[in-house]
Amino acid sequence: MITLHHCPQTRSMRTLWLLNELDVPFRLVVHPFDKSLRRPEFLSVSPAGRVPALEIDGERMFETGAITEYLCERYSPDRLGRSAASMDRMAWLVWVHFAETISQHVAALTQQHVALYEDHMRSPIVMKIEAARVKKCYDAIEARLSTPLENRDYLLTSGFSAADISVGQAVYMARHFATLEDHPETARWFERISERAAFQASLPDGDGGLYDRDFYPAWEG
C-alpha cells in the first residue's frame, strides 16, 4: 500500500494528481498546513516537515521530483514516464524538474500574500519581482508549446506525461499570482490538462486549501 501525506494546494497535489493518473491503490492522509508538520511523528516521515511525503514498501520518500521519477519508473515507465530509450527522456526530465523552478516563486508569493499575517511584514517589491519571475516561467512554457509549424498539445512531442502533471500543478498554483492572458498556448494547454478527471480529483474539497481567493494582485508600493 502507498500512503501519501498531503496538504491541499501544496506541492503534494502534484503527487496526488500523478497517483490518480496511475490508478494504483493508495491511502491519502491529509494534514493541515500548520505547525503540526513539525511534530516528531511527521518528521520521522519527512525530516524537513514538508509535503509530499510518501510511504511505500516500508520506505519513505520526500521531494516531488524524486517521487515522480520513482512512481513513473515503477508503474508507468512509457506512458506517464519516459524510459531511458525514449527520444523524449531528456525533455521529460527537464520539464518534470522545471516545475520546481515555478514552485519556488509561487512559494515566495504565497508567503507574501498568505502566510505573513501582518501587513508590515509584506513587501510590494518582492511581490512584483516574484510575479515577474513567474511570467518568465510562462514564457518558457509558451515557447515549448509553440513551434514554427504547429503547436504542441503537450510538453512532449510524444504526448501527455508526468511532465505535464508536474508543470501543470505548478501553473495551477502560479495562476493565483500571475494570469495567463499574455500566454495563449499555455492557457490552452492548461485548460486541456485541467479537464482531466485525475486533476479534478486532486483539487481541494470545499474551503480546504491555502488560498481564499482566485487571484492575489501585487500591492502598489
Q: How confident is the model at residue 152 (pLDDT cuts 50, 70, 90)?
A: confident
pLDDT tens track for 94-150:
999 999 999 999 999 999 999 998 999 999 999 999 999 999 999 999 999 997 656
Going from the C-alpha of 160 to that of each of 37, 123, 151, 189, 190, the distances in angstroms are 33, 38, 14, 11, 12
Q: What is the reported pTM?
A: 0.96
3-state secondary structure of 117: coil
* 199's grid cell: 486533476
Q: pLDDT exceeding 70 applies to what percent of the chain?
A: 97
Mean pLDDT of 12-25: 97
CA distance 51 to 131: 23
Predicted confidence (pLDDT) at residue 208 exceeds the cutoff of 90: no
CA distance 221 to 204: 33
Cβ-based neighbour number of residue 53 at 10 Å: 27
CA pseudo-torsion sign 94, 98, 63, 153: negative
Q: What is the mean pLDDT of the chain?
A: 95
pLDDT tens track for 183-193:
999 999 999 99
pLDDT of residue 62: 94
- Range 192-204 burial, b when 16+ CB lie within 10 A, else e: ebbebebbeebeb
